[in-house]
Structure formats: C-alpha cells, structure tokens
Structure 1
C-alpha cells in the first residue's frame, strides 16, 4: 500500500502510532512534503506531530537506503549511542513491509538553507552548534567504540563521486546534458582525476558518518528553553566511513552558499562578481571558524594533528563540491555558470589545500 493524505489516518491508527482521539477530535492535519520519497507532515494544534517517509518506487536502491536509515535510527536507541540520538529526530516506527519510516516532527523547524536565506546572515552561533554536535557524535562513534553487529548494517561504500570520472563516460546515455558536460570537463583535467582517485584510495573507516551533509539536511528549531536547537535529517546514506567527509561537506556548504549568491548570469566573468556576492565569504568566517574550533575540541583531535586534519577535510570538501555541481545539473540540459565555478574552486582547493584554507576560509592561524 502506498500512503496518501487520504489514507494516512487509517495507516497510523492501524500501526498504533496515534490514538483514535486525535483523529476523532480533528487534531490532525496531513501536509504533503515529497521530494525523493513520499513524505508527509502530520501536524497537531500544539505544534507536535510526525514525519512519515515512504519510498516512491519499489526498487532495490530505494529499499536499501530506507533500510539503512531505519537501522541507524534503531541503533541510536541503544546505550552508548546517545550522541547520535541527539543529532536525529525522535524515532517512532519502521514498517519494513511498506518501506515506511515515521519520526517525530520538529515543530517550527527550518533547514539551514531556509534559515540563512531568511536571516541573510551566517551566525557564528550556528557554526558553533554544528561543530559541537558533529564533534561529539564523531568522537563517540569512532571504530573502537562500535559493536560489530551494528557495523554489519552498513555497506562501507566510498563516495561515488570519487570515481565519477571513471564511470560517467559509460553512463552517458542515462545522464542529463549538464551532467555529461560536467563529466567531459573533469576528463580534460588529469590532475583533478588524479586527486579524486587519490582521495578514494585514502578513504578511512573510522566513524559512523551521515554521508549527505548539506544545509537542506540540517534543521534548526526552537527548543524547550527558547534557544535554537539542531537536528540532522535524511540519514539514507549513513555509513561506516571517513569522518572528514562530513566535516568537509560542511566547509564546502559555506563556500557553495557564497558561490550561489554571486549573480552569474549571461555576462559570465566570475572575477567581476566576487565583490557582488549577496553573501560575502568574509562574513561567513566567524561561523566557519566557530564550527572548526568547536569540532576539533569536542571530537578530541590533538592540537598538533589539527592542521593536517583541516587540510584533509578541505580536500574531501572539494570532492563534495564536485558532487554539489553534479546534483545541481541532474535535470539540466546544459552546464550552468555556477556549476562551472564550483568545479573550478574544487580544482583549486585540491591543487593547493593549504593556500585555499588560508585565502578562501581565513584559516591562516589554524595552520601554524
């Protein structure tokens, strides 16, 4: 049975997820919120509610990622995984037969893409919150603290973008024109291909990672004390892998926000638009630096090891930026100006991560 707004009440009653009185009293509203999946928000008058996610099509990849996410939610309920549970919405139910996951709705929540666009700033307090949360999560989920039976739920996959230059030519007939062009450009730069291969070969298995860190998957909402609270959603790509992938993804998210705020229209001259960015990069420095300082502190990274680890995260962030370019072109018939800049910035970072950390992100002092 595929879920719809009209059969949602019946489904939740049958699963015992909501009491009959909620439906009888009319304290129940269903709002469709679909993207890749069949997503529904179940909202009540007091602001509480549920978020119900079901796969759109019964196909192996969708089933696999749903099972992986559900396994992560179940694992987070166990003793010793509190840092992970504190990053996730509350787990409610997993219906394996219908490939459906139900979690608690975050009242008043908005993702960081929406939050930054509304505020028109990148607060240092948000960077600090991100760094503290991810640092605590990675520190407690290092390989020596994980149970073998829990690790068996994860496929240990190296991110596909690190081999995209090798596979995109074969898959050209199934990709959009924009993605095909992206692959063709990457194949014109042997040093970029070499760096992506090098990062794939250097991949570590040292922590449970989210695998798809981006602003859309980071949700802030008012906590019980009125202060801003934070959760990460969409754990479909959760895996046992390299913690620097998550951290690099956050660093590139700031850079990507800067690039997409540039008015790169028909007159394509990137140098002339840096100063016209709606979100200047220097204005993000307090948030970026707060994120990094609080991450290394809570993750337990030694001060002597922090500079090298920052450069490692910068490199994996650059690779994640190539993936961001891919995602932006997924339905595009041609290459976009912003995707071209993402690719160029990624290549520049990989050519000289230390220079990029200083010139782009203002990390000169952290590299001493």
Structure 2
C-alpha cells in the first residue's frame, strides 16, 4: 500500500510515467521530501521529473483531504491564470491515495528562500498577490462546487473557538498544545476579540486556508521568477481575508519562527528582534498589498478598512502558528507566547499595528 523509494520505480512504470529505459540507464533517482506526507522527488530521463505525494496514514480525514486537493487542481484547469499558479497534476490514484505531479525543478519554498537570502524582493510579493487574486476573484455556484470538490466545508477556522473546545482526538496533542488552550483562556481580552471576529466571517469563495511560505514554491523560468501555491488539502469555501491575513502573519512571525526549536530564546528578545527587523520587510509587505488590491480591483477608498480587517485575521492566524510550533513540546514555549503577544497587540489596536508593525502610512 505505502510507497517507498525502493518500490517507486515499479509503481511509476506501471502507471506509465517512467520507462524501463529510464531505470536501466541509471537516469532514475528518488529523493525523499516528506514532512506530513510521504513525498518523493523523482528525477527521470526525458520527462525531467515527477513529484509524488501519498498520505502518511490511511484514515478518512486524510483520504478526504487528498481527494479535495486533487479536485482543486482539476478545477483550476478551467481557469488559465489559476492553473498557471498551481502545480500540474498528472494523476490521482485513489487506490494508493497518492497524487503525481510534474516536478518543478530547482524550486524552493519562500521560507527557505527568505531564510537563506535574507532579502524580501517586492517582485516575489507581487507574484504572491497575483496568485491569490487568480482564485479569489472567481465566483462559484456553491452547488456546483459541492459536485466538483467532494467534502468541501463551510466552517470558521477552529482556532477562533479552540479556547472553548478541543477539536483533536484525545492523546493526539503534545502537553504544550493542550496547555495552549488554557493559555488563551487566561487572556479574556484576546478571547473577546476572537468571539467578535468569529461573527464577521464570510462565506464568499474558495480559499486556500493554509497559506504560509512553506506552501509558496518559487522557481525561475526563462530567467524570470515564478511562483506556485501548493498543498491545497485544507481548501474551504470561506473568507478571502483569511488568506490575505495569512500572508501578513507570515511576515510578522518570520523573525520569531526562524529558530523556534531553540528553547533558550526568551520572549522579550524574540519580540525585540521582530520590532528591529520588520522595517526590512515593509517594502515587500506594501507591494503585496498594493498588487492584491489592484488585481482585485478594490476601490481606493475601501482599502484602508479592508486592510485593518485582514490584519485582524492575521492576528488570529498567528495563533495557529503558535499552536503548530508546540508540536512535541511539553509546555507553551517562549516563541508561542511571543506570537500570542503580537496577536493581541494587533487585535487591541489594528491601526497602530498597521503603522508600527507593518509600515503602512498614517491614513491606514
């Protein structure tokens, strides 16, 4: 059932994606690239390369998520701009619960790029804004979507109400992640913000729902930078502001999350590093916002209020990042506490955060 580096050649040959000549001639090479799934990069002959993604465990949720992702890629093919901004799906194997993509050679995700290069080009920010706009500006009939993407949900993200109820099976979380709910409950002003924002959620179009720099793949084509959005397994019918806010929080959480496994770092220093370094990102942040608004044809007079709403959602999305950082930890870390503090700072005063944390001009 499960694919391995050893049996991948036979599997791909059986499905017609590699030839015996590729394997015999020594042009077939497998690189394991798994994180939450079984991922493999396959370099092979004339085709150039294939990327294979298989779920890690056979359970209904994982199977449903993989099917949703496959259907999103198929739906995207109906819209040329959107199709160009996602990987090319070659095959969905429902028996093996795997997806086969055309490999994007010499690519890396934005997190890797920013960590290595320590620069934040406005060109990449604009590419990311355009990629979001390609599917955000589409109008879908909900009944048609239900048929196109089985299992598509209409729900507000779980993090809004995590302090009230855990949505995870008993024993599946680390002690630190369990304590995170108690940590949120100790901040009634913050949870009040969550309750208020919960009521503002809109169900308006497809959203990626898990936008982060890990899921933004950059590469070059004819010397020009290109970008694709990957990992659509959490796709939902929801609120565009969540995806946009997710991008804003990726900028803000960057400085805290660089070394989140280093438990010697203190909350105060992590916050100071963020304040000191955010100005290096201001041009990129503003380029992203300007490009997104232009692509979505948002009226100039509507942009300030929309920005503040997106920043509020970025603060909630940052709580997800804090939660995710606690995987395997026995207690709420300094990094998670710093992220929560930044989240509350935004929610307490969005306009001030727009200026001080994100570098927007006074009218925002």
Determine if the alignment matches structure 1 residue 66 to structure 2 residue 66. Answer: yes
The CA distance in 1 between the partners of 2:167 and 2:233, in whole Å, is 27
The CA distance in 2 between the partners of 1:130 and 1:250, in whole Å, is 9
The CA distance in 2 between the partners of 1:294 and 1:191, in whole Å, is 34
Contact 1:54–1:98, Cα closer than 8 Å, also in 2: yes
- 2:251 equivalent among 232, 251, 254: 254
The CA distance in 1 between the partners of 2:255 and 2:55, in whole Å, is 33
| Structure 2 gap ranges (5+) | none
Give matches, 1:59-208, under 5 Å: 59-78=59-78, 81-139=79-137, 141-143=138-140, 147-148=144-145, 149-150=147-148, 153-168=151-166, 174-208=172-206
The equivalent of 2:215 in structure 1 is 217
SS of equivalent to 1:58: coil
Q: CA deviation at 1:169?
A: 9.7
The CA distance in 1 between the partners of 2:275 and 2:45, in whole Å, is 37
Contact 1:261–1:279, Cα closer than 8 Å, also in 2: no
Q: CA deviation at 1:137?
A: 2.8
Determine if the alignment matches structure 1 residue 51 to structure 2 residue 51. Answer: yes
Contact 1:47–1:108, Cα closer than 8 Å, also in 2: no
SS of equivalent to 1:166: coil
The equivalent of 2:342 in structure 1 is 345
Task: Calculate the TM-score normalised by the size of structure 1.
Answer: 0.91
The equivalent of 1:15 in structure 2 is 15
The CA distance in 1 between the partners of 2:274 and 2:157, in whole Å, is 30
The CA distance in 2 between the partners of 1:190 and 1:241, in whole Å, is 26
Classify 1:329/1:273 alpha carbon distance in 2 versus 1 (closer, same or farther; 3 Å).
closer
Contact 2:159–2:316, Cα closer than 8 Å, also in 1: yes
The CA distance in 2 between the partners of 1:277 and 1:137, in whole Å, is 31
Classify 1:15/1:83 alpha carbon distance in 2 versus 1 (closer, same or farther; 3 Å).
same
Task: Calculate the TM-score normalised by the size of structure 2.
Answer: 0.92
The CA distance in 2 between the partners of 1:142 and 1:308, in whole Å, is 23
Q: CA deviation at 1:198?
A: 2.4
Q: CA deviation at 1:222?
A: 1.4
Between 196-205 and 309-318, report the one with greater CA deviation.
196-205
The CA distance in 2 between the partners of 1:131 and 1:146, in whole Å, is 28
Contact 1:262–1:277, Cα closer than 8 Å, also in 2: no
- 1:309 equivalent among 281, 306, 310: 306
Q: CA deviation at 1:133?
A: 2.1
RMSD: 2.5
SS of equivalent to 2:130: helix
Q: CA deviation at 1:189?
A: 1.6
Between 227-236 and 144-153, report the one with greater CA deviation.
144-153
The CA distance in 1 between the partners of 2:151 and 2:166, in whole Å, is 28
SS of equivalent to 1:195: helix
Classify 1:152/1:202 alpha carbon distance in 2 versus 1 (closer, same or farther; 3 Å).
farther
Q: CA deviation at 1:45?
A: 6.0
Classify 1:170/1:241 alpha carbon distance in 2 versus 1 (closer, same or farther; 3 Å).
closer
The CA distance in 1 between the partners of 2:40 and 2:62, in whole Å, is 17
Classify 1:90/1:210 alpha carbon distance in 2 versus 1 (closer, same or farther; 3 Å).
same
The equivalent of 2:38 in structure 1 is 38
Contact 2:71–2:149, Cα closer than 8 Å, also in 1: no
SS of equivalent to 1:107: coil
Q: Alignment length, in residue pairs?
A: 362
Q: CA deviation at 1:366?
A: 5.5
SS of equivalent to 2:300: coil
Q: CA deviation at 1:154?
A: 1.3
Instruction: Write the deviation string for residues 62-87 of structure 1: whole angstroms up to 9, x where unpaired.
Output: 11111110111111122xx2232122
| Structure 1 gap ranges (5+) | none
The equivalent of 1:333 in structure 2 is 330
